[in-house]
Amino acid sequence: MNYFENKNILLIICGGISAYKSLEIIRLLRKSGSHVKTILTKSAKEFVTPLSVSSLSQEKVYDDIFSVENEAEMDHISLSRWADAILVAPVTANTLSKVASGNAEDLASTVLLASNKQIFLAPAMNVRMWEHPSTKENIIKLKNFGYKFIGPEIGDMACGEYGEGKMTEPNEIKNTLKNYFSNIEKNRKFKALVTAGPTNEYIDPVRFITNKSSGKQGYEIAKCLRDNGFDTTLISGTTNIKTLDGVNFVSVETAEEMFKETLNNLPADVAIFSAAVSDFRVKNYNDTKIKKSEKLNLELEKKYRYLKSYI
């Protein structure tokens, strides 16, 4: 199976002697059936020309965030949404620093900051630059942000030195992208179920007891499963988090509702129950609002006692 067929790949080329390898990356991806669009940074144009890039990609080359013609279409948004994956090759120490700091001073860095797609970074720099503590800190930050690194390799460098910092070869970069797309394709047949957030157990129509939960963990798990190709369903109690695009969303309030919806969405290949389900509910629910002047005594019953009838 050709996992590159009709895939949209955005290639960002930064300034460095390894930029010449980006031309081979374009050729390999195009030959495999991908559509490739490119962004050249200002310094990248010192190493490869827009003409050579556009000739290989058969697409327009993007380079200026302040172009009236380009930004009429809001390229920094449209390009990231168009792409199935974004590859930065080569990525320099300067670009690593900018992206790790959240800078958006040119089209390339703005696209990366505005992206909602998986971003791959293929570094290329002198061994001392790669080993510098500031670079290492930036790498840790970027990995925590979800960026994936390809390389660098150990070998001879254009500067005459030897060590880690050499850009990974185009074929290996292509294989990394292939594995990414193949995993997503294979996961499409799998169903994932995630529960998140708290449940509210009502005392009367306006009052309830609950377990405190933001729901963030469950939402992040669902997002990760979605990004890896799973057909994902998220059953969530009340939270302040926006619903996730591309995820089947089911809103519930009580533990009983969450339990019923969970049963309705089983079986699943992956089930992760991260919701903070209330351990108790009020045994005698009041159909009308309890007056403030009334004496309030709550009798609670454990969760399993009122849910076991559904099993």
- Is residue 176 located within the same domain as residue 197? no
Known catalytic membership, residue 159 = yes
pLDDT by residue, tens only, the chain of 311 residues: 788 999 999 999 999 899 999 999 999 999 999 999 999 999 999 999 999 999 999 999 998 765 545 544 557 788 989 999 999 999 999 999 999 999 888 899 999 999 989 999 999 999 999 999 999 999 999 999 999 999 999 988 777 788 899 999 999 999 999 999 999 989 989 999 999 999 999 988 888 888 889 999 999 999 999 999 999 999 999 999 999 989 999 999 999 899 999 999 999 999 999 999 988 888 888 888 888 777 777 788 876 655 555 55
**pLDDT computed for residue 175 by the predictor:** 96
Q: What is the CATH number of the domain that holds 271?
A: 3.40.50.10300
Q: What is the CATH number of the domain that holds 178?
A: 3.40.50.1950
- The answer to whether residue 259 is domain-embedded is yes
How long a stretch of residues is the chain? 311
**pLDDT computed for residue 304 by the predictor:** 60
- Is residue 137 located within the same domain as residue 244? no
- Is residue 39 located within the same domain as residue 66? yes
Active-site residue (options: 140, 159, 266, 296): 159
- Is residue 18 located within the same domain as residue 56? yes
Sign for the pseudo-dihedral over CA of 131, 9, 170, 183: positive
Nearest to 38 by CA among 61, 19, 22: 61
- Is residue 35 located within the same domain as residue 114? yes
- Is residue 153 located within the same domain as residue 234? no
- Is residue 131 located within the same domain as residue 222? no
- Residue 212: φ, ψ to 5°: -70, 125
Task: For residues 108 and 137, give the distance between their C-alpha atoms in angstroms, rounded to a whole number.
Answer: 21
